[in-house]
């Protein structure tokens, strides 16, 4: 934070005390410039600066080991990019960081986060970012509208721990999101998350192509299908098969697995389920309540959940949206391939010839 904005913060703080009124604080906020926005609650004092290391799904940045708040600089580049949606099917995606879902951003509760949003000069559209963890009009969207070839910046205080969706909110927001403009941001609680063996980033989203599912070639967005909420594709991590075969997630028997699971929508709610396991811990909707022994957890469009489990037996565990036709025929299917020694006490069986036949 600059000296100037720090001074302004002190000034606002003094003003609030003097007025002794919540309304006073709100008025003071209105008078400050957007990038100097000051939360009503006194944010934690920050020390130092670091640049966030971003990752593309299914990778997740390493847990934060810092025990103090800092200023985190996030450099995010919007790129409009033709990529594969399914084998032989192309789509002109609009992306945060060149991938769908967008880059994973990890900060710590109390951090001052400075978002630098760059819009590639070859892009055709203006874009911005609405981060659900941000307190303030538009969640950053109002101050981050960025034309091709430009960069915008804004700062916010990560007050609420949890797992949050970010997305583009430029009009028409549905089209920007339907083209892939969403991702996840984790605000780690001050005490951190319990250590696990594996962390993965998975995000669901649906695509409304003009051609029917499987029709090859470059596919355009079909607005009537989007209005009708009838997607041709419902996928994890931006493409059919992004988490299967060679790209399946990997772990070993007995290891703990944490999935940061988001849903970019733009329309559908996900009934997230992992075939072959019970979820030990779920933070529904990415919040701070913890649930245990969950079979299927609902993830709203524009929402997220943290799920944790520990596979006990080797084999393939299948991630699905349990609105099952989406998984079976539209793409919402991923694999966790678990290796290790068998554990017959937990699970065994198989067919034998029936007696007398």
**Nearest distance from C-beta of residue 142 to other proteins, angstroms:** 5
63 binds, among other proteins, Cu ion, none (CB under 5 to 8 A by kind): none
Which residue among 39, 63, 136, 174 contacts other proteins (CB under 8 A)? 174
Q: CA 60, CA 62: separation in Å to the nearest integer?
A: 6
Binding at 181: pick from other proteins, Cu ion, none (beta carbon under 5-8 Å per type): Cu ion
The residue nearest Cu ion at its CB is 168
Letters for 168-207 (x = contact with Cu ion by CB under 5 A, - = none) are x-x-----x----x--------------------------
DSSP state at residue 285 = G
Asked whether position 141 contacts other proteins by CB under 8 A, the answer is yes
Cβ atoms within 10 Å, residue 250 = 14
Buried/exposed code over 7-34 (b: 16+ C-beta within 10 A; e: otherwise) = ebbeebeeebeeeeeeebbeebeeeeeb
Binding to other proteins in span 58-87, by CB under 8 A: 80, 82
Residues in the chain: 357
Angle at 201 between CA 277 and CA 149, to 5 degrees: 160
Contact between residue 168 and residue 180 where contact means Cβ atoms under 8 Å apart? no
Choose, by CB under 8 A, the member of 169, 186, 268, 333 that binds other proteins. 169
Contact window for other proteins (CB under 8 A) among 39-47, 135-143, 192-200, 331-339: 135-143
Q: Of 61, 126, 189, 254, which lies in the binding site for other proteins, with binding defined by CB under 8 A?
A: 126
Structure tokens at 103: 């880059």
Residue number with CB closer to Cu ion (112 or 170): 170
- Nearest to other proteins of 140, 311 (CB atom): 140
Candidate list 15, 24, 61, 138; residue touching other proteins; CB under 8 A: 138
Backbone angles phi, psi at 221, to 5 degrees: -75, 135
- Separation of alpha carbons 283 and 307, rounded Å: 6
Minimum Å gap between C-beta 118 and other proteins is: 14
How far is Cα 203 from Cα 299, in angstroms, rounded to an integer? 10
When asked if residue 125 is in the footprint of other proteins (CB under 8 A), the reply is: yes
Q: Is 222 in the site for other proteins (CB under 8 A)?
A: yes
Cα–Cα distance measured from residue 310 to residue 211, given in angstroms and rounded to the nearest whole number: 40
Shortest spacing between CB 134 and other proteins, in angstroms: 13
**First CA to last CA across the chain, in angstroms?**
79
**Nearer Cβ to other proteins, position 77 or 199?**
77
Q: Which of 8, 106, 127, 258 binds Cu ion (CB under 5 A)?
A: 127
Report the residue number, 80 or 232, with the smaller CB distance to Cu ion: 80
In 3-state terms the chain splits into helix, strand, coil percentages (rounded to 5) of 15, 40, 45
Residues 185 and 161: their CA atoms lie apart, in Å, by: 10
Residues 122, 215, 288, 290: which binds other proteins (CB under 8 A)? 122
Token pair, residue 126, equals 């203006």
98, 196, 221, 275: which one contacts other proteins (CB under 8 A)? 221
Which chain residues interact with Cu ion by CB under 5 A? 127, 168, 170, 176, 181
């Amino acid at each position: 934070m600059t000296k100037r904005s720090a001074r302004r913060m002190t000034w606002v703080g003094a003003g609030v005390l003097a007025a002794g009124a919540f309304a006073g604080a709100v008025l003071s906020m209105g008078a400050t410039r957007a990038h100097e926005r000051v939360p009503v609650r006194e944010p934690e004092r920050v020390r130092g600066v670091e640049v966030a290391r971003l990752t593309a799904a299914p990778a997740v940045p390493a847990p934060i080991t810092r025990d103090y708040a800092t200023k985190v600089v996030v450099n995010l580049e919007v790129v409009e990019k033709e990529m594969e949606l399914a084998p032989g099917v192309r789509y002109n995606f609009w992306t945060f960081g060149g991938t769908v879902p967008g880059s994973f951003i990890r900060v710590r509760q109390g951090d001052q986060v400075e978002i630098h949003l760059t819009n590639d000069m070859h892009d055709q559209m203006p874009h911005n970012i609405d981060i659900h963890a941000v307190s303030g009009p538009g969640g950053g969207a109002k101050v981050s509208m960025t034309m091709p070839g430009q960069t915008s910046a804004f700062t916010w205080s990560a007050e609420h721990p949890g797992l949050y969706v970010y997305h583009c909110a430029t009009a028409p927001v549905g089209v920007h999101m339907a083209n892939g403009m969403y991702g996840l941001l984790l605000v780690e609680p001050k005490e951190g998350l319990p250590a696990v063996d594996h962390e993965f980033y998975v995000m669901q989203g649906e695509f409304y192509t003009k051609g029917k599912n499987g029709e090859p070639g470059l596919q355009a967005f079909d607005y009537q299908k989007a209005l009708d909420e009838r997607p041709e594709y419902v996928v994890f991590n931006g493409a059919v098969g992004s988490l299967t075969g060679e790209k399946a997630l990997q772990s070993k028997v007995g290891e703990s697995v944490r999935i940061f699971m988001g849903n970019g929508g733009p329309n559908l709610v996900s009934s997230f389920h992992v075939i072959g396991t019970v979820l030990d811990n779920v933070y529904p909707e990415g919040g701070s309540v913890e649930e245990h022994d969950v079979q299927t957890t609902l993830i709203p469009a524009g929402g997220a959940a943290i799920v944790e489990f520990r596979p006990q037996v080797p084999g393939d565990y299948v991630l699905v949206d349990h609105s099952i036709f989406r998984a079976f025929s539209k793409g919402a299917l991923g694999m966790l391939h678990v290796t290790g020694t068998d554990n017959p006490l937990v699970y065994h069986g198989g067919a034998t010839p029936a007696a007398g036949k």
